[in-house]
Amino acid sequence: MNIVVLAGGISTERAVSIVSGTEVCKALRKKGHKAVLVDVYCGIEAVEEQDFFPAEYDVDAAAAYIRSFDEKIDEMKESTREFFGPKVIAICQKSDIVFMALHGENGENGKIQACFDLQNILYTGTGHLGSAMAMDKGITKQIFLGANVPTPSGITLKKGEGSEQLSEYGMKFPVVVKPCCGGSSVGVDIVYDQESYEKALSDAFSYEEEVVVEEYIKGREFSVGVLNGKALPVIEIQPVEGFYNYENKYKAGAVIETCPAELSQELTVKMQKYAEAGYQALALQAYGRLDFMMTEEGDMYCLEANTLPGMTPTSLLPQEAQAVGMNFAALCEELIKISLAKYQ
């Protein structure tokens, strides 16, 4: 197949996306596909259309080309009104499918998916509606509550509006403060007092105009991948220090990940059922990953859903797939297969 692996972009998760895209592109190439790595925002160098999907291709060189724009992204955003880079739409239209290796803003929020739907471009993962709902943690919380998927109680605050006093909302410390539509735990803080709370709000609002404040659930952290509506084995995430923030997610040795998680069969099945219910409630398609906290008493809370989870061999979803005998390359092909099915 001729496959565009779309990565990069303008989000705070650009660097992670490039890593995901590079690994996916290499895996698909090893499987015999003519996969190419493309930065959705910066585009590709001048190339004739018949050479869009060459038989011989240097993935690492393509990744290096994409990274060469890293320091220029902010400047580029100020000087251009166009989002899609040179030849991006053209090469995507020529592909059999676009593998979405994007993360965060203008990757997981449904905007690119909606554009591709209008252009009849096929892509992996959830459609534009499910992507948009899952990206917004405030909307996700409302949908979970309506679908009886347990989730921490919380509120959504808009910049410059509302009160900085938790008591006004019937809440008390500790709480978690996080950007409404952020990813990879960027801008997320657990706070225990008013001073820290106000600082966390200021930090979160520096990323976007809406912030979610929710009750802090103390306990163990888990994640559950869902393929085509069916939950994979549960994985437990144990940070060596602190919580599962951006630094710990991408720092070697900072987190202990156990898959399958050491849970009773009853608790495992219960969490998997909640993951499947959350997946269905958010109208997700093909695949996703849902994150959980569980208290010492066994009470579970679904925190959020990820429609384009990390895709390196050591990322959470690939680890869960490996636990059922599906290696990374096979998983990449499976994600394409189940994504194509949504168009049939």
Q: Write out the catalytic residue numbers.
A: 13, 184, 250, 289, 291, 304, 306, 310
Q: Which residues of 48-64 are buried (b: 16+ CB within 10 A; e: fewer)?
A: eeeebbeeeeebeebbe
Give 288's contacts (C-beta < 8 A, 6+ positions apart).
125, 126, 134, 225, 226, 279, 282, 305, 306, 307, 309
Neighbours of 299 (CB within 10 A): 11
Helix (H) or strand (E) holding 74: helix 73-79
Structure token digits, residue 171: 């809440």
Strands 210-215 and 175-179: antiparallel
Instruction: Give yes or no for a contact between 278 and 133, defined as CB atoms under 8 angstroms apart.
Output: no
Give 68's contacts (C-beta < 8 A, 6+ positions apart).
none
